[in-house]
Amino acid sequence: MFGNTQRRRGGISPKLMIAVVLAGFALSKYYCNSSFNEITGESQHISISPEQEVAMGLQSAPQMIAQMGGEVQGTQYDALVRRIGQQLVDRTDASNTVYRGQFEFHLLADQKTINAFALPGGQVFITAALLSRLSTDGQSIDENMLAGVLGHEIGHVVARHSAEKLAQMELAQGLTGAVTMATYDPGSPNSGYIAQMVSNMLQLKYGRDQELQSDDLGVRFMLQAGYDPERLIDVMEILKQAAGPNRTPEFQSTHPDPENRKEHIRAAIEKYQGQ
């Protein structure tokens, strides 16, 4: 009896062993699922196929449209969104991806939310509130600015950011479970909070990197399609003004600060114009 007690005290606790196994499983699953993205030139850890991405996007699109006031149809504005979006696909490297025939561009009726976003597989959205601000004269829509917004969202799709994010979230959940197991203390209410912070920090970092990569791809697609990438910098100014002086600090947001994004956009313009 005495000898058994000594082995338990001197060895690894069962709780820690389970935590190690959980972490190992999550890491193994994440790093074993790897694919090369020809658009970005990078290897990605992704656990779903492009076909699954397309299905996810198509399934989610009606709900997103309903949540944002419906879709604007039969006007010159939604026709403009579709025309420029399709040009950015057909005239750029995006046309060489498996998503080429899957892209659909939607103008949402929401007049308050200044936003644009993409679902997995090629469903791209812009709100009427943002579209109305893409003007240099207060009347007509600046097509170059619109191309910058849509090019950025196309970048998210072809870079497979949603699929990449899903794999990262699965990893974060696995590691969170492992940290929770290893640090859980019934007498310490902060033990679960520590685990959640690990998960949040992982996800925030990846979100900022993906936004900057989409800005880079947006510049690339604008140049390939014959649009002026300098206008994407003007879009950043619109986002900055819309956020106001009390906007969330960059380190607390998945999106980089518009001022920092301007610097990256200028660098991307210089890079691609020199090619």
Using the predicted structure, report yes or no on whether residue 262 has a pLDDT greater than 70: yes
72 — alpha (psi -120 to 50), left (phi > 0) or beta? beta
Give pLDDT tens digits for 209-249: 899 999 999 999 999 999 999 999 999 998 888 776 655 54
Q: Which structure tokens are listed for 17?
A: 């062993």
Q: What is the pLDDT averaged over residues 140-149?
A: 97
- pLDDT value at 152 more than 70: yes
pLDDT surpasses 70 at 252? no
For residue 153, give the nearest of 200, 195, 96, 107 by alpha carbon. Answer: 107
pLDDT score, position 13 = 67
Backbone angles phi, psi at 197, to 5 degrees: -65, -40
* DSSP per-residue string spanning 200-259: HHHHHHHHHHHHHHHHHHHHHHHHHHT--THHHHHHHHHHHHHH-TTPPPGGGSSSPPHH
Q: Are 236 and 192 in contact (CB under 8 A)?
A: no
Which residues on neighbouring strands pair with residue 105, listed in sequence order?
A: 124
pLDDT tens digits for range 168-191: 677 666 556 545 555 555 555 554
pLDDT in the model for residue 137: 74
Confidence of residue 257 (pLDDT cuts 50, 70, 90): confident
Measured CA to CA in angstroms, residue 35 lies from 41, 59, 164 at distances of: 11, 24, 10
Q: What mean pLDDT value characterizes the chain?
A: 81
CA 211 to the chain's CA centroid? 6
DSSP state of 133: T
Band of pLDDT at residue 163, cut at 50, 70 and 90: confident
Note the pLDDT tens digit of each residue in 83-102: 999 999 999 999 999 999 99
Flag whether pLDDT at 167 surpasses 60. yes
pTM confidence score: 0.77
Residue 119's Cα: distance from chain center in Å?
9
